[in-house]
C-alpha cells in the first residue's frame, strides 16, 4: 500500500490528494464491480481474516463496452521473477506501462489480470503526469532487471492512484459521467506486491500480470473522483503466551525498517505521533485515528484495508456528535473481500467535519492463518509485509470544481 504518511501530510497541508481507488460493488450504484467473488479462495479461518488466497487464476470476462468506451490492454514487457530483499518474504516492484495516449482521456473502469495468483498480494496503478515520464524511464533503465523496487509508493514524482486490485475485487466499473483524468502523454506505474511465503524457487515463480483499461475521450463532461486515505496506527503486542526477540516493540520496528528501508520503517512512529498527538504508543488490539475534512465534497463509497490479523474495521463521520454517520462497518473483516462498498446515498462533507477510522486486530489469528503460523511471534506495527499489519480506511468522493 502507498506511503500513507506522505499522503496524510499532503492532504492536511491542502495539497492535491492522492487519486483514487475504484473497486466497488452493486451494479446500479455510483461505483460498481462486476463479478466480485465473495470468497476469493478457501473458507476463512474463524473469527477474523481469511487465509488470503491472493486472487484467482480464473479471471471473469469483462462486461460489454459502454457508449464511447474502448479497451486498452497493458502488461509487463516480459515475465518477472520476484525476489524479496533483506531476508523478508515480500517484494514491491514497480513497472512502467504506457497507455499510448495522444489526447485527453478518462479512465472509466479497469480489470487487473493477475497472471500468477499464488504470489500476487495486491496491485496499485499510479498515473504519472507527462513531466514525470522521463525520470521514470531513467529509473527503470538504471535499475537492474525490469522495473524498480518501490515500497510505500510509486517511487517517482507526484504519482496519483487511479486503480487497484486486492482479493475480492474483479472488474471495476464507474457509473457514466465519472472517471479518472488521463492527460495525453501520461504513463501508468503498475506496483505489484509479491508475497513469497508459499513460493518455491523454480516452481511457477515468475509473473507477467497486466490490466485491461476502459477509456473514454475527453470531449464529454466527466466528473473526477478522488480517494482520501485514512490510516491509523497498529500497536498489537504479542499474546500472553508468546515469547521472542521481536515481541519487543523497538526490535519489531527495527525489523520493519531493515526489511523495507528507513522511510517505510518510520511509518509506525509517524502514525503514532500524528494520531496520538505525540503521546507514547498504547499497545492494544483496537486503534483509531481522526482525520479532519479539508475540502467539501460528496462521499460515494468506502473501503478498508488490513492484512491477515485484521478482524474488524469501521469508518465514521463526526463520531460522538448529533451529526454522526457510519460510512463503513465491517465487523468480520475478510482479507479475501476488499472491494469498496458504495453508500446507499452520497454523504456531503465539508471542512470542520472529522473522519475516524478504527481497526481491530486479533493476535490469536497468527496461530491459525497458514501464512503466519510458522513465523516467529512479533509485536505487530504498521508495515508493508503480509506478516506486518495496516489499518487503512479509503473514502471515494467527488468534489465541486
pLDDT tens profile 113-171? 998 888 888 888 989 989 999 999 999 999 999 999 887 677 777 777 788 887 666 78
pLDDT of residue 199: 72
pLDDT of residue 5: 53
pLDDT of residue 55: 41
pLDDT of residue 46: 35
**Grid coordinates standing for 146?**
525490469
Q: Which residues of the chain have pLDDT under 70?
A: 1-58, 152, 167-169, 200-202, 401
pLDDT tens profile 276-288? 998 999 999 999 9
CA dist., res. 85 & res. 220, Å (int): 46
Class of domain 227-398: mainly beta
**Grid coordinates standing for 217?**
475521450
pLDDT of residue 360: 98
Pairing of strands 187-195, 235-236: unpaired
Q: What is the pTM of this model?
A: 0.75
CA dihedral 43, 48, 52, 53 (to 10 degrees): 10
pLDDT of residue 328: 98
**Grid coordinates standing for 64?**
460489454
pLDDT of residue 37: 30
In degrees and rounded to multiples of 5, residue 362 shows phi and psi of: -125, 105
Examine domains 4-226 and 227-398 and report if their fold is the same.
yes
pLDDT of residue 168: 67
pLDDT of residue 11: 42
**Grid coordinates standing for 87?**
531476508
**Which residue ranges make up each domain of the chain?**
4-226, 227-398
The contacts of residue 19 (CB under 8 Å, 6+ apart) are: 127, 160, 161, 162, 180, 224, 225, 226, 227
Domain 4-226: which topology?
A: Jelly Rolls (2.60.120)
Amino acid at each position: 500500500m502507498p506511503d500513507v504518511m506522505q499522503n496524510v501530510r499532503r492532504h492536511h497541508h491542502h495539497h492535491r490528494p492522492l487519486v483514487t481507488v475504484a473497486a466497488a460493488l452493486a451494479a446500479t450504484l455510483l461505483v460498481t464491480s462486476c463479478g466480485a467473488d465473495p470468497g476469493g479462495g478457501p473458507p476463512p479461518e474463524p473469527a477474523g481474516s481469511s487465509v488470503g488466497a491472493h486472487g484467482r487464476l480464473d479471471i471473469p470476462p469483462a462486461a460489454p463496452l459502454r457508449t464511447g468506451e474502448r479497451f486498452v490492454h497493458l502488461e509487463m514487457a516480459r515475465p518477472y521473477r520476484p525476489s524479496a530483499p533483506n531476508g523478508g518474504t515480500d517484494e514491491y516492484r514497480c513497472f512502467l506501462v504506457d497507455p499510448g495516449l495522444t489526447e485527453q482521456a478518462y479512465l472509466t473502469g479497469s480489470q487487473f489480470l493477475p497472471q500468477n495468483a499464488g504470489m500476487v498480494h495486491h496491485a496499485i496503478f499510479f498515473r504519472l503526469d507527462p513531466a514525470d515520464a522521463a525520470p521514470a524511464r531513467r529509473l527503470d533503465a538504471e535499475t537492474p532487471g525490469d522495473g524498480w523496487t518501490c515500497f510505500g509508493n510509486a517511487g517517482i514524482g507526484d504519482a496519483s492512484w487511479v486503480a487497484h486490485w486486492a482479493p475480492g475485487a474483479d472488474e471495476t466499473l464507474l457509473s457514466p459521467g465519472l472517471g479518472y483524468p488521463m492527460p495525453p502523454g501520461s504513463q501508468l506505474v503498475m506496483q505489484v506486491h509479491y508475497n513469497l511465503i508459499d513460493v518455491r524457487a523454480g516452481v511457477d515463480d515468475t509473473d507477467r500480470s497486466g490490466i485491461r483499461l476502459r477509456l473514454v475521450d475527453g470531449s464529454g463532461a466527466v466528473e473526477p473522483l478522488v480517494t482520501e486515505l485514512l490510516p491509523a496506527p497498529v500497536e498489537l503486542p504479542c499474546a500472553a503466551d508468546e515469547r521472542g526477540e521481536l515481541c519487543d516493540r523497538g526490535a519489531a520496528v527495527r525489523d520493519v525498517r531493515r526489511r523495507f528501508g528507513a522511510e517505510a520503517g518510520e511509518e509506525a512512529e509517524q502514525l503514532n505521533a500524528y494520531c496520538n498527538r505525540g503521546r507514547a504508543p498504547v499497545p492494544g488490539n483496537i486503534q483509531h485515528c481522526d482525520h479532519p475534512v479539508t475540502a467539501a465534497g460528496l462521499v460515494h463509497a468506502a473501503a478498508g484495508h488490513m492484512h491477515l490479523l485484521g478482524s474488524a474495521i469501521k469508518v465514521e463521520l463526526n463520531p460522538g456528535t448529533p451529526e454522526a454517520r457510519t460510512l463503513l462497518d465491517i465487523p468480520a473483516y475478510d482479507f479475501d473481500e476488499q472491494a469498496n462498498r458504495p453508500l446507499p446515498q452520497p454523504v456531503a462533507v465539508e471542512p470542520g467535519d472529522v473522519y475516524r477510522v478504527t481497526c481491530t486486530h486479533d493476535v490469536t489469528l497468527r496461530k491459525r492463518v497458514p501464512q503466519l503460523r510458522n513465523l516467529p511471534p512479533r509485536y505487530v506495527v504498521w508495515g508493508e509485509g503480509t506478516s506486518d499489519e495496516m489499518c487503512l480506511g479509503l473514502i471515494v468522493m467527488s468534489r465541486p470544481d
